[in-house]
Chain A
């Protein structure tokens, strides 16, 4: 099952009469785009913005980030979510690189983040390095504002629909370059060479109420058991993310996942990359144990020699699953490398985790200057919930100051944990 990704590199985005892509310039017909992302009229006050690296812009809240794709065969780009479920990870897909669609709104949800396009906060977020098309929208039937976590499917869907709509501008064009992900052809080579068998284990948020978690093939991952998937399915829109906070994996991350792309480079050369296991992180210890055994059995059945496991979603809950899985794999003789970020330590650890790559640190207290433009609502920083902002604090005071500057935990910046691994960052003892 080979996936051919044809890349187009976006240099800038402007608004114009017709949505088109030419020589790196993406032109977007705003009205048409807005109509497209609001099919049932559940959103209001919709506005689109273009933000560049270096702009004095703060997006607060950022609710989801999605990469732009287009399928020349006409199928949807998020099977089971923006259209019918179909086989995924095969054929030709076009990709707009160096850009993402981000969705913002008036109210923050606990799993939302902040994106600064310039200033000291910009270095901690991969999204700050892209030219982004940003949606601002409010829900017509705004509700559950008193809840720290609420299902806001309208926003998430809008971002994915916009990525799909924009992608259509690539129709009939010739990509600048191609990436080919062909697992099976090289697997034969790898088997002949008897190369060590390797899989990637990726944690997914599944512990929240349905509607807030990651989706797989359009279905919420709540209560899901570990599932074995083809790496191409990950790159090709089968995973729709639920979060945009500091330790989140966004849909954009899943569609471009650096670990999968890197393992493909080694596939057939130094390792035999056999596949990907999505590891849900549930709440009860019983289910955690059951899930870790399930991933362990998969590792044994796949006769793995080594594995890389990535922790996303953050917090003490998924720390447990991460270390449970590392320990389980190691105890079965699978040489396991863990990729995770830190928050000035870990809630739980296991001494069997002997090889960990630390991607970032989300406990730093950051003072970030005011920005000229805010997309979203600056008040959300103290009125609503983010991981890493405070309406009040015994030492630092409120996160939002009268001049628009903010004092936050780095966790509040989207992707600041760097678990996906975009940024060349590690954590050291000081």
Chain B
């Protein structure tokens, strides 16, 4: 009897969040997939049903592939798609180059410093993301802080155009996502056994060589986790390019939301979402594997 009740309780604990995620996370993707094959209509909701029902029987199924063929023939979409991959890849690389030394230095500091430094890394993350991106407008504008300082120092004689450039988008993404790179790297580097480096030094390896042959290979899971945590959301980034980025070259997240809000073309917006997911499905699966081994391989 108690075993039975225990069993029922266990099932309930699993079922409640499970159902929630199926209804609010899994089914929405199926709906997006379905609507990406619908015909656009001037109605609310602005798409036609795929399946025609009459007297309880299906009388016809209409699949419109035109939303996709539209995306493949119009150059605007292809260039936004490729540009998003480029921006995400370059930003991820910069995050890694800036984040790795930071994570390494924190992992090598004393316990008291570690906590303080980690707090300093996390603190910006707790303050509004939107406001931190906004802060860069004030710094990068043509009459902004950076230009004013450079002009006052006599390094430049005319203001540089920093806003609405690729550079501004990279800065915005690296700035916003840097903690996501540092924290998994730190979690990995912190576990390393210092005796391995001592052994390498005893065997005559110079510090750089020991780093390249011992520390770097061991930290690959952290590098993977950090890069995926930055790259995947950066591909679909919407706020940063809207505030800092170019107006002549959109990112794919902006295209999706313009199709949805400005053109009210829900089927094309859905097709764009599906194409982003197709690009991201392998990185997302990789991230899950890294995350799983990270969370389950603890003592």
State whether these chains interact.
no
